[in-house]
Amino acid sequence: MKFEPVIGLEIHVELLTNTKIFCGCSTTFGAEPNSQTCPVCLGLPGSRPVLNKRAVEFAIRAALALNCNIVDYTTFDRKNYFYADLPKGYQISQYFYPTGTNGYVDINVNGETKRIRIHQLHLEEDTGKLLHVGDILASPYSRVDFNRAGVPLVEIVTEPDIKNSEEARLFLQKLRTILLYTGISDCKMEEGSMRCDANISIMPKGSKTFGNKTELKNMNSFRSVQRGIEYEITRQSKILKSNQEVIPETRHWNESKGSTTAMRSKYLASDYRCFPDPNVIPLETDKDWIDQIREALPELPDEKQARFVKEYGLPEYDAEVLTSTKELADFYDETVTLFNEPKTVSNWFMGELMGLLNNEKVEITQCKVTPQNLANLLQLIDKGTISGKIAKNVFEEMFKDGKDPQAIVEEKGLIQISDTAELEKVVEEVVEANPGPVEDFKGGKKKALGFLVGQVMKTTKGKANPQMVNKILGDKLK
Amino acid sequence: MKYFGLKVHEAHKLIKDREISSEQLTKSIMDRIEDVEGIVHGYVTVTKEYALKKAREMDKKIAEGEEPGPLSGIPCAIKDNICTKDILTTCSSKILKNFKPPYSATVYQKLEEQGCIMIGKTNMDEFAMGSSTENSGFFTTRNPWDPARVPGGSSGGSSAVVAADEALFALGSDTGGSIRQPASFCGVVGFKPTYGRVSRYGLIAFASSLDQIGPITKDVRDCALILNAICGHDPMDSTSVSADVPDFTRFVDKDIKGIKLGVPKEYYTMQIDDSVKKETGEAVTNLANIGAEKVELEMPYTAYALPAYYLINPAEASSNLARYDGIRYGFTYEDAENLLEAYKKTRSSGFGPEVKRRIMLGTYALSSGYYEDYYLKAQKVRSLIARDFDQAFKNCDVIVTPTAPTVSFRTGEKIDDPLMMYLNDIFTVPVSMAGLPAVSIPCGFVNGLPVGLQIIGKPFDEGTIIKVASAFERMLALDKVKPLFGSYVRGGA
Chain segment B199-231, per-residue pLDDT in tens: 999 999 999 999 999 999 999 999 999 999 999
Nearest CA to CA, how far is B305 from chain A (Å)?
19
Candidates A164, A173, A171, A176; CA nearest to A205 is: A164
Q: What is the pLDDT of residues A144-171, one digit of tens each?
A: 999 999 999 999 999 999 999 999 999 9
Residue B149 has pLDDT above 90, yes or no: yes
A222 and A262 both lie in a single domain: yes
B488 has a pLDDT exceeding 60: no
Q: How many other CB atoms sit within 10 Å of the CB of residue A421? A: 6
pLDDT at residue A85 tops 90: yes
**Cβ separation of B322 and A89 shorter than 8 Å?**
yes
Amino acid identity of residue A359, one-letter, is: N
B31: burial class by Cβ within 10 Å (0-12, 13-18, 19+)?
A: middle
A165, A226 Cβ separation under 8 angstroms: yes
Measured from the Cβ of residue A39, the count of other Cβ atoms closer than 10 Å reads 19
> Hey, which residues 452-481 in chain B have their CB within 8 Å of chain A?
none
Domain shared by A303 and A173, yes or no:
no
pLDDT tens digit string along A234-281?
A: 999 999 999 999 999 999 999 899 999 998 877 666 789 999 999 999
Q: What is the pLDDT of residue A268?
A: 65
Average pLDDT (B174-187) is: 98
Chain A closest-CA separation from residue B458 CA (Å): 21
- Same domain, residue pair A107 and A213: yes
Supply the Cα-derived Rg of chain B in whole angstroms: 21
Residue B352 phi/psi, 5-degree rounding, is -85, 175
Q: Which amino acid is at A91?
A: Q
Q: Which residue of A has its CA nearest to B104?
A: A46
pLDDT confidence bin for B487, thresholds 50/70/90: very low
Comparing A424 with A46, which gets the higher pLDDT?
A46
When CB atoms are compared, the residue of A88, A271, A281 closest to B323 is A88
**A237 and A196 both lie in a single domain:** yes
Tell me if residue A450 falls in helix, strand or coil: helix
Is pLDDT at B493 greater than 50 in this prediction? no
* Per-residue model confidence (pLDDT) at position B490: 43
| Pair (A393, A428) in one structural domain | no
CB pair distance less than 8 Å for A279 and B99: no
**B304 in A contact zone (CB under 8 Å):** no
Which of B202, B209, B328 lies closest to A46 in CB terms? B202
- Helix, strand or coil, per DSSP, at residue B351: coil
Between B492 and A366, the more confident residue is A366
Chain A touched by B433 (CB under 8 Å): no
| Domain of A363, in residue numbers | 298-412
Q: Is the pLDDT of residue B324 over 90?
A: yes
What Rg value do the Cα atoms of chain A yield, rounded?
30
Contacts of A278 in chain B (CB under 8 A): 207-209, 239, 316
Contact B110, B230 (CB under 8 A): yes
Does residue B409 lie within any of the structural domains?
yes
| DSSP symbols for B435-446 | T--EEEEEEEEE
Contacts of A279 in chain B (CB under 8 A): 205, 208, 237-239
Count Cα atoms within 13 angstroms, Cβ side, for A398: 27
Distance CA B436, CA A333 (A): 62
Domain that holds residue B247: 3-266+277-298+388-480
Model pLDDT, residue B241: 95
**A371, A449: one domain:** no
Q: What is the CATH number of the domain that holds B157?
A: 3.90.1300.10
Contact present, A19 and A25 (Cβ < 8 Å): yes
* Residue among A156, A199, A174, A171 nearest A5 (CA): A199
Q: Judge contact between A236 and A211, C-beta under 8 A.
A: yes
Task: Point out the least confidently predicted range of A321-325, A381-385, A392-396.
Answer: A381-385
Q: Is B204's Cβ below 8 Å from some Cβ in A?
A: yes
Min Cα separation A50/chain B (Å) = 6
Q: Which residues pair with A121 in a beta bridge?
A: A100, A156
**Lowest mean pLDDT segment, chosen from A205-214, B111-120, B228-237, B308-317:** A205-214
Active site residues of B: 79, 154, 178
**Which of A145, A263, A273 is the mutation pick for testing B, counting most B CBs within 10 A?**
A273
Question: Is the domain of A55 the same as that of A168?
Answer: yes
DSSP-derived 3-state class of residue A23: coil
B contact residues 25-84, partner A, Cβ 8 Å cutoff: 81-83
> How many A/B residue pairs have CB atoms within 8 Å?
98
Mean pLDDT for B312-330 is 96
- Taking the C-alpha atoms of residue B323 and residue A78, their distance in angstroms, rounded to an integer, is 13
Query: B368 and A49 in contact by Cβ < 8 A?
Result: no
Q: Return the sign of the alpha-carbon dihedral for residues B5, B10, B11, B17.
A: negative
Q: How far is CA B437 from each of CA A112, A125, B306, rounded to the nearest angstrom?
A: 65, 34, 18
Q: Are residues A39 and A151 in the same domain?
A: yes
Instruction: Indicate yes or no: CB of B239 within 8 angstroms of CB of A281.
Output: yes
Question: Nearest 5°: phi and psi at B450?
Answer: -65, 150
State whether residue B332 sits within 8 Å of chain A by CB. no
Task: Give the model's pLDDT for residue A269.
Answer: 65
A266 and A335 part of one domain: no
Q: What's the pLDDT tens digit per position in B102-140?
A: 999 999 999 999 999 999 999 999 999 999 999 999 999
Which residues from chain B sit within 8 angstroms of residue A84, using beta carbons?
Answer: 325, 327, 339
User: Percent of chain B having pLDDT more than 70?
Assistant: 98
What is the mean pLDDT of the segment spanning B404-414?
96
Give tens-digit pLDDT for A5-43.
Answer: 999 999 999 999 999 999 999 999 989 999 999 999 999
Please write the tens of the pLDDT for every residue from B254-294: 999 999 999 999 888 778 999 999 999 999 999 999 999 99
Between B81, B204, B238, which is nearest A51 by CB?
B238
Local structure of residue A206 (DSSP, 8 states): T
Residue range A195-209: mean pLDDT, rounded: 94
Is there a single domain that holds both residue A451 and residue A385? Answer: no
Q: What pLDDT, on the 0 to 100 scale, is given for residue A475?
A: 83
Interface test mutation site (partner A, options B79, B91, B320, B377, max chain A beta carbons within 10 A): B320
Mutate which of A21, A40, A41, A44 to test chain B, going by most B C-beta atoms within 10 A? A44
Query: Taking CB atoms and an 8 Å cutoff, what residues of chain B touch A48?
Result: 200-201, 236-239
On whether both A54 and A171 belong to a single domain, the answer is yes
Distance CA A151, CA A237 (A): 39
**Model confidence, pTM:** 0.91
Mean pLDDT along residues A134-139: 74
Q: What are phi and psi of B467, to 5 degrees?
A: -60, -50
Residues from chain B that touch A88, judged by Cβ atoms under 8 A, are 322-323
Amino acid at A302: D
Write out the residues of chain A at the interface with chain B, using a CB-CB cutoff of 8 A: 39, 42-51, 78, 80, 82, 84, 87-90, 144, 271, 273-275, 277-281
What DSSP letter does each residue of B367-409 carry, written as one string? STTTTIIIIIHHHHHHHHHHHHHHHHTTS-SEEEEESSSSS--
3-state secondary structure (DSSP) of residue B206: coil
Which helix H or strand E contains A29, and what residues bound it? Answer: none
Strand-pair partners of A103: A118
Cβ–Cβ under 8 Å, residues A104 and A92: no
Domain containing residue A454: CATH number = 1.10.10.410
CA B371 to chain A, closest CA, distance in angstroms equals: 8
8 Å CB contact of B101 and A84: no
Is B306 within the bounds of a domain?
no
How many whole angstroms separate alpha carbon A457 and alpha carbon A451? Answer: 10
The count of domains in chain B is 1
Mutate to test the interface with B, among A83, A275, A281, A283 (most CBs of B within 10 A): A275
Quick one: pLDDT at residue B1? 56
CB B432 within 8 A of CB B210: yes
User: Is residue A462 pLDDT above 70, yes or no?
Assistant: yes
3-state secondary structure of A251: strand
Whether A39 sits inside 8 A of B327 (CB atoms) is no
Q: Residue A351, SS3?
A: helix
- State the DSSP H helix or E strand holding residue B471, giving kind and residue range, or none if neither: helix B462-476
Whether chain A has a CB inside 8 Å of the CB on B203: the answer is: yes
Last residue of one domain, picked from the residues A268, A291, A314? A291
Find the residue in A nearest to B235 (Cα).
Answer: A50
- Does any domain span residue B281? yes
Chain B residues with CB inside 8 Å of A46's CB? 81-83, 89, 101, 105, 201-205
In DSSP terms, A214 is beta-bridged to A200, A249
User: Length of chain A in residues, anyone?
Assistant: 478
Taking CB atoms and an 8 Å limit, are A78 and B105 in contact across chains? no
Asked whether residue A444 carries a pLDDT value surpassing 90, the answer given is no
Please give the helix or strand (H or E) that residue B293 lies within, else none: strand B293-297
What is the per-residue pLDDT across A402-433, written as a single tens digit (0 to 9) for each? 889 988 888 877 777 777 788 888 888 888 88
Chain A CB contacts of B238 below 8 Å:
48-51, 279-281
Percent of chain A with pLDDT over 70: 99
Q: How many domains does chain A have?
A: 3
Contacts of A355 (CB under 8 A, 6+ apart): none
| Helix, strand, coil distribution of chain A in percent, nearest 5 | 40, 20, 40
